[in-house]
Structure 1
């Protein structure tokens, strides 16, 4: 599991995927979210501008990201 230390109140989903190095670009992240390949707290979520906050769990492929 990847632990991501949040600086501030939230991070947009696309920015999180880029910051953790799981995607190469914002465009790639946007496409993956729109295609339903990313889970937010156990549910598929299609919102690319979703505000991810402390305590959330993001799942992408075989990776889990815990926001701390």
Structure 2
């Protein structure tokens, strides 16, 4: 499980995927989100601009990111 330390109030989902190294580009991040390959707090979420906040858990490709 990865931990991501949030410095502001939130981070958009596609930026989190890039910042955590789970995808290489923003385009790739948008694709995996729109294809339903990403879960937020256990539920598939198709929103590219989802505001991820502290306490959220993002799952993609067998990896989990806990936002702190």
Q: What's the counterpart of residue 24 of structure 1?
A: 24
SS at match of 2:3: strand
Q: What RMSD in Å do the two structures reach over aligned CA positions?
A: 0.3
Report matched runs for 1:56-67 at 5 Å.
56-67=56-67
Q: What runs of 5+ residues in structure 1 fail to find an aligned partner? A: none
Deviations 1:18-50 (A, max 9, x none): 000110100000000000000000000000000
Displacement of 1:61 in angstroms is 1.0
Q: What runs of 5+ residues in structure 2 fail to find an aligned partner? A: none
Q: What's the counterpart of residue 33 of structure 2?
A: 33
Q: Which runs of 4+ in 1 moved over 3 A?
A: none
